[in-house]
Chains A and B, each alone.
Chain A
Amino acid sequence: MANLTLVQAINLALIQEMEDDDRVIILGEDVGPNGGVFRVTEGLHQRFGSDRVVDTPLAESGIIGSAIGLAMAGLRPIPEIQFEGFLGPAFDQICTHAARMRTRTRGALTVPLTIRVPVGGGIHAPELHSDSPESFYAHQPGLKVVMPASPYDAKGLLISAIRDPDPVIYFEPKRIYRAFREEVPEDEYTIPIGKARVVSEGDDITIVSWGASVVQCMKAIEASDRSIELIDLRTIYPLDIETIEASVKKTGRVVVVHEAPLTAGFGAEIAARVMEHCFLYLEAPVQRVTGFDTIMPYYKLELEYLPEAERIATAIDHVAAY
């Protein structure tokens, strides 16, 4: 057991999976000797060599498209896209090929691929380094989309993603890369994809969130004297509606929190599912605390945009008072 940051937990998972399975290779921009711009792949190039930790040309579609070929040939590639803002050029390869290959070949060819992508705002980064595009990919059938919010989950979810026989987008909330440490077992373990985590139990209100927002939710809950249940989704798709349903049937009041814009954000899906599953249990309309339907601002205003603890606290009061 070691006290690790989220970055260190990911690094440890990568090392262990690469040691266990020589089909696992890493490719991307600056992932080699530099260890990635966030140092997630630090030490891996020295440890595993340039055949397994590959600095590629600077081209996101190329990284994902060639990783699809590597995966179809039976390897377990882990491409890194440096920031979520640069996932756009790879959107075509992800949605047009990775997501479809299994079904369009009726299982003859598959794409066991884990796409690692730092995501979200809050680190005073330049333009296009702070977005939250998870719902684009949750909307694409054939993919799995995960986003851990703690070092422990980061390791277990990444191991699950690498071992998963289908393409997984593994979003890494960069705001909490080093925000706190947590005990992370040395041994390998998995966190199942598609299972949410109840972070804290409560009876009055359910908050559903994921990624760095979970930490903001925890702050809001700490500051509140209400009994609040916090669910960290961990996996965006496939959605663990059962955990949400069980909680909402108990509390009757729901707040969904995410950094991505409001309209057609994944919170909309959760609100709809809550209505379908828990209609007669609801005491108040589902509240969403999200980014605005604007372009993510440059960093001087990013905390005004992000759903910080204060805004979450207001939503808690609103939903409680309804």
Chain B
Amino acid sequence: MPLKKAFTTTIDNVSILDEHGSFDAKLGAPGGKPIIPDDDLVKLYEHMCLCRKYDEVAFKLQRSGRMGTYPENRGQEATSLGAAYALNGDDWLVPCYRENAGLFWRGLPLEFVLLHWMGDERGNAIPEGMCITPLAIPIGTQMLHATGLAWASKYRNEKRLACTFFGDGATSEGDFHEAANFAANLDIPVIFFCQNNGWAISVPTKIQCSAPTIAQRGIAYGMDSIQCDGNDIFAVVYCMKEAAKRARENNRPTFIEAVTYRLGDHTTADDARRYRDAKEVEKWNNRDPMIRLRNYLVQRKLWDDAKQEAAVARAKEAVTAAVKRAEEIASPKTADIFNSMYAELPDDLVIQRETMMTHSLGQHPEELPPTSTQQRTHQQA
């Protein structure tokens, strides 16, 4: 007797505007109504121009010693941008660190990300109401925060969701499993948005996942899962809208695998030539999300060279202004090391802040020996 099938599934792949310029109107404009109206499409493309310029300038800032390590976003603009575009302004965006496009679309001031990589915590002081969590440096841990944030929204019956971003490598982390398992089993409206960019620093996706898709990992938790061309903003928006509907109507999570590619190095501290084939990079350069979108806009007579030139000029101006704001911000005060540690600073920390000393002879400032000049210069009001 043949064995019964306990379970079978398939993973759909969504591609609407492919690298050759072919547009699937059935998915991309059902009933003649495009899922991204033309006006928005132009704005999204312009935003990509801004982010590409931003990346270029940030890279140069690092190379010229004006900024610390920076992870280029180049080539992945369509993913977080499409996601942020498809959400409401009060849905949580829970990024890792390659989601500039989505964060800036939401309204994060451009200088914040620069400040972060310039070693200044003020770059994480997300303005109230923006519903963004700060860049997450450990891999995958932020997914649980998204689960918790969305859980709180469900608890308050707010119909808000959380969308968390992570890479292919992060799906190897235990916290991915725990976040997905919590969300699926407790009916929490989270979107797990995997940017499968092919590489976790030097380790290729096949070492993270030997299954044909990463998306099928979501199936294992009992959540709807889909794969899309991550360099196709239409495909990203399509998947996000479906996922957001599911989250808002039924508190159900979704796993989206957006297949994209990290065109640059992992960070400015990395040299991807050590482990990547130039031909592979070349192939993906041709799949750049900006190329196909620009061609599409030109073909639709929504864009031309003059507009391109003007957009690049505006991007340059905005980025230059952001760099200026980031570089001209007042120096942080030494006391800032302490000031946000707790709502109310414990006495010990007050003394450490006032004396900038950890050795003590009684730990009471008035009983300390006269401070040296060097110590005095470190003291802060």
A residues neighboring B (CB under 8 Å): 25, 51, 54, 56-57, 59, 61-62, 64-75, 77, 89, 92-93, 96-97, 102-110, 141-142, 144, 164-166, 194, 237-239, 241-242, 276-277
Identify the 3 closest CB pairs spanning chains A and B, nearest first.
A69-B148, A65-B144, A62-B178
Does B343 lie at the interface of the complex (its beta carbon under 8 Å from any beta carbon of A)? yes
- Among A69, A103, A107, A166, point to the contact of B149 (Cβ < 8 A): A69
Q: Is the CB of A69 within 8 A of B151?
A: yes
Instruction: Give complex CA distance A108, B360 in Å.
Output: 33
For B208-227 the 0/1 string (1 means CB < 8 A from A) is 00000000000000000000
Q: Which residues of A contact B341 (CB under 8 A)?
A: 102-103, 141-142
- Among A56, A74, A103, A239, point to the contact of B152 (Cβ < 8 A): A74
Instruction: Give complex CA distance A201, B358 in Å.
Output: 31
User: Given that A105-B121, A238-B347 are contacting pairs, would A59 and B178 also be in contact in the complex, using a CB cutoff of 8 Å?
Assistant: yes
Instruction: Give complex CA distance A277, B144 in Å.
Output: 43
Q: Which residues of B contact A61 (CB under 8 A)?
A: 144, 174-175, 178
In chain B, residues 103-150, which have Cβ atoms closer than 8 Å to a Cβ of chain A?
121-122, 124-128, 133-134, 138, 141, 143-150
Q: Which residues of A contact B362 (CB under 8 A)?
A: 276-277
Q: Which residues of A contact B186 (CB under 8 A)?
A: 54, 56-57
Does B340 lie at the interface of the complex (its beta carbon under 8 Å from any beta carbon of A)? yes
User: Given that A238-B348, A241-B363 are contacting pairs, would A57 and B185 also be in contact in the complex, using a CB cutoff of 8 Å?
Assistant: yes
Does B342 lie at the interface of the complex (its beta carbon under 8 Å from any beta carbon of A)? yes
CB distance from A54 to the nearest CB of B (A): 7
Q: Is the CB of A62 within 8 A of B144?
A: yes
Q: Which residues of A contact B348 (CB under 8 A)?
A: 238-239, 241
Q: Is the CB of A69 within 8 A of B150?
A: yes
Q: Is the CB of B346 within 8 A of A238?
A: yes
Q: Is the CB of B126 within 8 A of A92?
A: no
B residues neighboring A (CB under 8 Å): 92, 121-122, 124-128, 133-134, 138, 141, 143-153, 155, 162, 174-175, 177-179, 181-182, 185-186, 336, 340-343, 346-349, 360-363
Q: Which residues of B contact A277 (CB under 8 A)?
A: 362-363
Q: Can you give 22 A-B contacts (C-beta < 8 A)?
A: A54-B186, A57-B178, A61-B174, A61-B178, A62-B175, A62-B179, A62-B182, A65-B147, A70-B148, A70-B149, A71-B148, A72-B148, A74-B152, A93-B144, A102-B341, A104-B134, A105-B340, A109-B126, A194-B346, A238-B348, A276-B360, A277-B362
Q: In chain B, what residue has the closest Cβ to A237?
A: B346
Q: Is the CB of B121 within 8 A of A103?
A: yes
Q: Is the CB of B148 within 8 A of A166?
A: no
Q: Which residues of A contact B126 (CB under 8 A)?
A: 105, 108-109
CB distance from B141 to the nearest CB of A (A): 6
Q: In chain A, what residue has the closest Cβ to B183?
A: A66
Q: Is the CB of A106 within 8 A of B340?
A: yes
Q: Is the CB of B182 within 8 A of A166?
A: no
Q: Which residues of A contact B121 (CB under 8 A)?
A: 103-106
Instruction: Give complex CA distance A242, B186 in Å.
Output: 47
Q: Which residues of A contact B178 (CB under 8 A)?
A: 57, 59, 61-62, 65
Q: Is the CB of A106 within 8 A of B122?
A: yes
Instruction: Give complex CA distance A102, B336 in Å.
Output: 12
Q: Is the CB of B363 within 8 A of A276?
A: yes
Q: Is the CB of A59 within 8 A of B182?
A: yes
Q: In chain A, what residue has the closest Cβ to B148?
A: A69
Q: Is the CB of A73 within 8 A of B153?
A: yes
Q: Is the CB of B125 within 8 A of A66?
A: no
User: Given that A56-B182, A93-B141 are contacting pairs, would A102 and B340 also be in contact in the complex, using a CB cutoff of 8 Å?
Assistant: yes
CB distance from A128 to the nearest CB of B (A): 18
Q: Is the CB of B133 within 8 A of A72?
A: yes
Q: Which residues of B contact A166 (CB under 8 A)?
A: 342-343
CB distance from A220 to the nearest CB of B (A): 29
User: Given that A72-B133, A238-B348 are contacting pairs, would A66 and B340 also be in contact in the complex, using a CB cutoff of 8 Å?
Assistant: no
User: Given that A68-B145, A69-B149, A142-B342 are contacting pairs, would A276 and B175 also be in contact in the complex, using a CB cutoff of 8 Å?
Assistant: no
Q: Which residues of A contact B125 (CB under 8 A)?
A: 105-108
CB distance from B125 to the nearest CB of A (A): 4
Q: Is the CB of B346 within 8 A of A66?
A: no
- Among B122, B174, B182, B343, point to the contact of A165 (Cβ < 8 A): B343
User: Given that A57-B181, A238-B347 are contacting pairs, would A65 and B145 also be in contact in the complex, using a CB cutoff of 8 Å?
Assistant: yes
Q: Can you name 19 extra interface pairs (CB under 8 A) apart from A70-B151, A72-B145, A165-B342?
A: A56-B186, A69-B162, A70-B149, A70-B152, A72-B148, A73-B92, A73-B148, A77-B148, A103-B341, A104-B124, A105-B121, A105-B124, A105-B125, A108-B128, A142-B341, A194-B346, A241-B363, A276-B360, A276-B362
Which one of B127, B146, B149, B349 has the greatest number of beta carbons of chain A within 10 Å?
B149
CB distance from B234 to the nearest CB of A (A): 30
Q: In chain A, what residue has the closest Cβ to B157?
A: A51
- Among A66, A102, A104, A107, point to the contact of B147 (Cβ < 8 A): A66
CB distance from B39 to the nearest CB of A (A): 32
Q: Which residues of B contact A239 (CB under 8 A)?
A: 348
Instruction: Give complex CA distance A182, B341 in Å.
Output: 36
CB distance from B378 to the nearest CB of A (A): 19
Instruction: Give complex CA distance A111, B33 in Å.
Output: 44
Q: In chain B, what residue has the closest Cβ to A110?
A: B343
Q: Which residues of B contact A59 (CB under 8 A)?
A: 177-178, 181-182
CB distance from A161 to the nearest CB of B (A): 13
Q: In chain B, what residue has the closest Cβ to A62?
A: B178
Q: Which residues of B contact A92 (CB under 8 A)?
A: 138, 141, 175
Q: Which residues of A contact B138 (CB under 8 A)?
A: 92, 96-97
Instruction: Give complex CA distance A67, B340 in Å.
Output: 21
Q: In chain B, what residue has the closest Cβ to A96?
A: B138
Q: Is the CB of A69 within 8 A of B342?
A: no
Q: Is the CB of B144 within 8 A of A105?
A: no
Q: In chain B, what residue has the closest Cβ to A193?
A: B346
CB distance from B359 to the nearest CB of A (A): 8
Q: Is the CB of B144 within 8 A of A106?
A: no
Q: Which residues of A contact B342 (CB under 8 A)?
A: 102, 142, 144, 165-166
